[in-house]
Chains A and B, each alone.
Chain A
Amino acid sequence: EAQVTQNPRYLITVTGKKLTVTCSQNMNHEYMSWYRQDPGLGLRQIYYSMNVEVTDKGDVPEGYKVSRKEKRNFPLILESPSPNQTSLYFCASSFATSGPEQFFGPGTRLTVL
C-alpha cells in the first residue's frame, strides 16, 4: 500500500530534550516536506527536500533540522524543543516534476512542556 508513515503519532516531551520525528514513504517520491499546523494559521512549511542530500528552508525553519540521506526517509529533528513548537506536524511527499498531489502522513501531535 502506497503510504507516508510518521512516528511517533503522539509525543509529550520537555523543553530542551532533543527529539526526532521520522517520516518514510514507499512511493519513490523525490519531493518530501514537513509542515506544522496551528489553529488559525493553516499549514506552514518547515523544510522541504527535492531529492537525496538536497534540502531547503520553508517558511518556518527556525528550531528545526532535517536530513535526506535516503530517498524514502526525511526525519525532522528538534535539537532543543521549546513550548512554541507544540503543534501538529505533517510529513508529505510527491513526485518532483509531475503528479502534483502530495501524499500526507497521518500527523504527529507534539507537546513540549
Chain B
Amino acid sequence: AQKITQTQPGMFVQEKEAVTLDCTYDTSDPSYGLFWYKQPSSGEMIFLIYQGSYDQQNATEGRYSLNFQKARKSANLVISASQLGDSAMYFCAMRGDMNRDDKIIFGKGTRLHILP
C-alpha cells in the first residue's frame, strides 16, 4: 500500500534561515508523482512543487526546491531564505501510477512557524 510519512509535526525556524521539511514515501508503483502543498491559516490549499519519479533533476520553483532521493524514498521540501509568510501547514502528497491506481495520498502535515 502507498504511504506518506511526515515525521515533523511542527517546526520553529528563524526568519531568513533555510528550512527542510521531511517527507518519506512508500509505493510499489514504478511511476509516481510527489507534491508539496502549503495551507496557510486562511485554509486554502496552495500547490508549491512537483517531482515525477522519472525526472532526472530535482524540481525547483523560486525559493522552493524538492530534494528527491529515490533510493531512500524521500522527497524533502527545502525553502530557502524563509519569510514570515511561510508560516503555514505543509503537506507532502503522492499520486500513483495513472494506469493502475490513480489515488492521491497525503501526509499528516508539518506546521511551520517562522520567527521574526
Contacts and interface: CB of A to CB of B under 8 A. Distances in A.
Interface of A: 31, 33, 35, 40-45, 48, 50, 56, 58-59, 88, 90, 92, 96-97, 100-104, 106-107
B57 to A, nearest CB: 16
In which size bucket is the chain B interface?
20 to 34
A100 B53 CA distance: 12
A104 B45 contact: yes
A50 B100 CA distance: 12
Nearest to B2: A59
Given A42-B106, A42-B108, A45-B104, A101 B47 contact: yes
Contact of A58 (B33, B47, B103): B103
Contact of B43 (A48, A96, A102, A107): A107
A27 to B, nearest CB: 13
Nearest to B42: A106
Interface in B62-109: 91, 93, 95, 98, 102-109
| For the complex of A and B, 5 pairs with smallest distance between CB atoms | A104-B45, A42-B108, A43-B106, A100-B50, A101-B47
B52 interface: yes
A100 B75 CA distance: 16
A43 B98 contact: no
B95 A100 contact: yes
B108 A102 contact: no
Nearest to A98: B98
Contacts of A96: 98, 102
Contact of A101 (B43, B50, B98, B103): B50
Contacts of B93: 43
Contact of B104 (A40, A41, A88, A102): A102
